[in-house]
Structure 1
Amino acid sequence: MQNNSASTVTRKSPDLTGHSSAWTLFLVFLRLGLTSFGGPAAHLGYFRDEFVKRRQWIDEHTYSDIVALCQFLPGPGSSQVGIAIGRLRGGVAGALAAWLGFTLPSAIMLVAFGYGFAYLADAVSSRLLHGLKLAALAVVAQAVWSMGRSLCPDRGRATLAAMSAISVVALGATSGQIVAIVLAAICGACLLKTPTDVPESLSGMPGTRTEAVVCLVAFVGLLFGLPLAAKLAHAHWLDLFASFYRVGSLVFGGGHVVLPLLQAVVVPTGWVSANEFLAGYGAAQAIPGPLFTFAAFLGAVSKGSPNGAAGAVLVTVAIFLPSFLLVGAALPMWGKLRSFDRMRKAMAGINAAVVGILLAALYDPVWTNAVHNATDFCLALSALLLLTWWRCPSWAVVMLTAVATLLFG
């Protein structure tokens, strides 16, 4: 009885700064980073099993509120949940340790793939790389379908998604995405009728209002200041950092939605070729951990200096830095923010736009670069069948598609 009572008290007081050492958090999240296959939705299931059910570090209500907060913010949702849990258990050091443990395995794997990419292209031929593109097509198609069902359940949001896809295709990836997100937020706040009931907000989130303001000012200052500094300094490394920071700041929906924004940043500028981009994205499906570590591959293979390991570290820090600042800004103020009805409706509109942006990316560059003949279509359809209806893990589908392309492509 005494143990149960102590456990209950811990779960009712989620501000547990210093309760777990940074090293303990690093090891726990490192194991999750090595074993968490399946993308952001699966990661949230792994986190719940680990921290709510097995370790009982936080209760169900606290975990649900953290997940809701991170879905509200731009950036990689599952990584932000991990950062928030680390912050709850170990303060700022705990947040850094949780992020590093969860991110390091997939980042190292993708950097290694980046180093071997040139050899792979020559020795195994372009057919294997083409198989990775077809696997990426199946994964993105599945993401569009599943996100569309959950985020666009009515005519209003489905219309916003379709119009967002049209705007991206018509205006181009960079400007089209900004237009789509802004208009969807306005239309959502003014026109959508979505459920507005939310559970009672928890208390005891870490951080003060002053810390929240500092994080928010830093986030906005870097978002607008980095591009200006890069333009004035004419430094490639600063331009690289600013571009990936902007992507990490503007990606609503996380996961696969990062694909079109990264493509718009690295391919038109010539930093990464379209062939390298899609091959790396396909490889990213075969490994555990957050999909945002795809940035590490792009940094490793990018043209100019820095690239390789230094480039990978630079852009990985850049794309995840907004998540730290946004989580730090939002945790103390989440209870108040979530009470505004128009804010939730605007986010519903943005989520619908995210589906449309991903749908546009499914067409270009994914479909246009991957499907060239009937065999390609059949292999991509088979991969989608395995993912969606046979529930095969994405890493297995990637490997099967790559092998099938070698045999039949």
Structure 2
Amino acid sequence: MKASAKTLHEQVTRPPQGTPAEVFGAFLKLGLTSFGGPIAHLGYFRDELVVRRKWIDEAGYADLVALCQFLPGPASSQVGFALGLLRGGPLGALAAWAAFTLPSALLLVIFALAATSFDGPIGTGLLHGLKIVAVAVVAQAVWGMTKSLTPDRERASIAVACVLIVVFAAGAIGQIAAITFGAIAGTVLCRNGPAAGSTHLTFHVGRPVGIICLVTFFVLLGALPIAAGISKSWGLFDAFYRSGSLVFGGGHVVLPLLQAEVVAPGWVSNDAFLAGYGAAQAVPGPLFTFAAYLGAVMGPEPNGILGAGICLVAVFLPGFLLLVGALPFWDNFRKRPIAQAAMRGANAAVVGILGAALYSPVFTSAVLNAHDFALALTAFILLVVWKAPPWVVVALTAVGGTLLRSF
């Protein structure tokens, strides 16, 4: 084990061995073909970058995945960003993010710009079908996260308590309160769990750079709400930055956070929000590119291409700042039992938040009658039991919604 740890240490601390162009090419392939959500993305990364290209070994990759799952933000995109940093330096990290993110972001922006022309029975039926598939997708996420993140009475109780918190304190304040409560309760109730692994993960990132990134994260978190009063652009950046800062447990958790930020103030209609979320299941790459759709479809300016760019950068930025900030300190921090317990509680809180969102706005807005319920249940069975690819389920449910509205 000592020899293996030494080899890993030498591997991950050496200067970058590739180029940003090489990183971009590798991640563009992944960005065009990685369907199925963050867990599937991590499998694609392993096959392409660990097994085939050998950018990092299995132990280092497992440790990197553990770090990104611990931090707020889009875990698969953070792993990709870190692998780009490892292979091609800072430019390699940006190349990895751009190549993995832009294909799905562009597809969703095109859908947003075309959505305004969807009228008549066929168009409204298509959009309604996309809202129904969102019910199935969120239900699948809640089902899977419940089994993995609330496997005992303590964490299940935290999740239920957090449902009550977000029901009685709606909006972003309730979600922040739920995550805070979950973390505090976790430190008391969730201390029994597997210890951190013994592998050693150290990137070529110095502690001063890490500190600068962490300070920048918190400064933006505090300053952006003040800057939001200056212009709508800053308000948009603030809303999506805060949402990206609070996402624990997977990309689907961004749904209730963004819904509170853009639907409640009237920037995006609830119907357009859920239709876009359904469409996001049919494209490859990270679910966070849903932010690009919202920025493009937004009613008040900035919207269109500019709005999509602002929202896309803002929702990814906090996760990347936290990742680079944590890299120099991860080995020491992850061994602290209280930190692990807090994260177990926070992850349980995430299940409660997403469970509340499954009912409202997702289910109540999409399932209007027994026919809609039957279609949503069919989509859920296809995803969970038949393991059908999400894009296939999206296509079938969109057709089903069109037929229901037409006849």
Same fold, TM-score > 0.5, yes or no:
yes
Partner of 2:24: 26
Give distance in 2, aligned partners of 1:110 and 1:87: 27
1:175–1:10 Cα change, 3 Å: closer
The normalised TM-score by structure 2 is: 0.96
CA offset digits 1:137-180 (Å, max 9, x no partner): 00000000001100000000011111111211221132221111
Which of 393, 398, 404 is the matching residue for 1:402? 398
- Corresponding letter in the other structure for 1:293: T
Is the Cα contact below 8 Å between 1:11 and 1:57 reproduced in 2? no
Partner of 1:215: 213
Which of 241, 246, 251 is the matching residue for 1:245? 241
Partner of 1:325: 321
CA offset digits 1:333-358 (Å, max 9, x no partner): 11011011000000000000001100
| Corresponding position: 1:296 with 2:292 | yes
Give distance in 1, aligned partners of 2:271 and 2:189: 41
Give distance in 2, aligned partners of 1:258 and 1:219: 18
Structure 2: runs of 5+ lacking an equivalent: 1-5
Give distance in 2, aligned partners of 1:109 and 1:372: 29
1:62 alignment partner, SS class: helix
1:120 alignment partner, SS class: coil
1:16–1:121 Cα change, 3 Å: farther
Is the Cα contact below 8 Å between 2:202 and 2:327 reproduced in 1? no
Partner of 2:3: none
Is the Cα contact below 8 Å between 2:68 and 2:78 reproduced in 1? yes
Give distance in 2, aligned partners of 1:27 and 1:118: 34
Partner of 1:180: 178
- Corresponding letter in the other structure for 1:287: V
Give distance in 2, aligned partners of 1:269 and 1:331: 37
Partner of 2:135: 137
Which of 346, 366, 369 is the matching residue for 2:365? 369
| Corresponding position: 1:391 with 2:391 | no
- Corresponding letter in the other structure for 2:174: G
| Corresponding position: 1:190 with 2:170 | no
Superposition misfits of 4+ residues, deviation over 6 angstroms: none
Is the Cα contact below 8 Å between 2:125 and 2:404 reproduced in 1? no
User: Could you tell me how far 1:122 is from its partner in structure 2?
Assistant: 4.5
Give distance in 2, aligned partners of 1:261 and 1:203: 32
- Corresponding letter in the other structure for 1:107: A
TM alignment of 1:112-191, pairs within 5 A: 112-122=110-120, 124-191=122-189
TM alignment of 1:229-268, pairs within 5 A: 229-231=227-229, 233=230, 235-268=231-264
Give distance in 1, aligned partners of 2:15 and 2:383: 40
| Corresponding position: 1:40 with 2:56 | no
Give distance in 1, aligned partners of 2:152 and 2:274: 32
1:119 alignment partner, SS class: coil
Partner of 1:337: 333
The normalised TM-score by structure 1 is: 0.95
User: Could you tell me how far 1:194 is from its partner in structure 2?
Assistant: 2.7
CA offset digits 1:24-83 (Å, max 9, x no partner): 101110110000000011001101111111111101110011100001110101000001
Partner of 1:4: none
Which of 257, 269, 272 is the matching residue for 1:273? 269
Give distance in 2, aligned partners of 1:404 and 1:373: 14
Give distance in 2, aligned partners of 1:322 and 1:408: 41
Bigger mean CA offset, 80-89 vs 162-171: 162-171
- Corresponding letter in the other structure for 1:28: A
Partner of 2:77: 79
Give distance in 1, aligned partners of 2:156 and 2:342: 15
Give distance in 2, aligned partners of 1:80 and 1:248: 12
User: Could you tell me how far 1:103 is from its partner in structure 2?
Assistant: 0.2
Give distance in 1, aligned partners of 2:107 and 2:189: 45
Give distance in 2, aligned partners of 1:19 and 1:178: 41
User: Could you tell me how far 1:247 is from its partner in structure 2?
Assistant: 0.7
User: Could you tell me how far 1:11 is from its partner in structure 2?
Assistant: 8.1
Between the aligned residues of both structures, percent identity stands at 55
Give distance in 1, aligned partners of 2:256 and 2:297: 18
Give distance in 2, aligned partners of 1:178 and 1:279: 26
Partner of 1:5: none
